[in-house]
Amino acid sequence: MPLLILGLVFFTLIWMVWALLWLFWPVTLLVAGVILWRGQMRRSERLNARGDTPSPRTVYASSGNTAFDDYRAERRSELDEDRGKFGEFLERLRKRKDREEFNRFIADRRSRRIDGPGGLLA
């Protein structure tokens, strides 16, 4: 009887180790994939913040038609200017939203004050 219990405990331990090893590699691959993906996202965000988009569209080869190349260069400069203006607009929008949120917070905080010694908060 004790040998049967010992064998059952041994089998259970072996089964648990096998289950953990079976789960170990997929979880490891998943974690490694997430880490690599996050690193790539940080890199692309950092490059986009600087304006260095790492895409093949950033470098255009000459098409052979100078009129088209001039038109394309003009349109690209207009688009870059518009992108800059849009970025400034988004920044102003974020600042305005943050300012409104802060003002709401301050107004809410002031409305919760109790008239008492030291102006304690509710």
What are the pLDDT digits (tens) for 25-65? 777 778 778 888 888 888 777 777 766 555 555 556 788 88
| Residue 65 · residue 71 · CB < 8 Å | no
**pTM > 0.75: yes or no:** no
| Residue 109 · residue 103 · CB < 8 Å | no
pLDDT band at 119 (very low <50, low <70, confident <90, very high): low
SS3 state at 51: coil
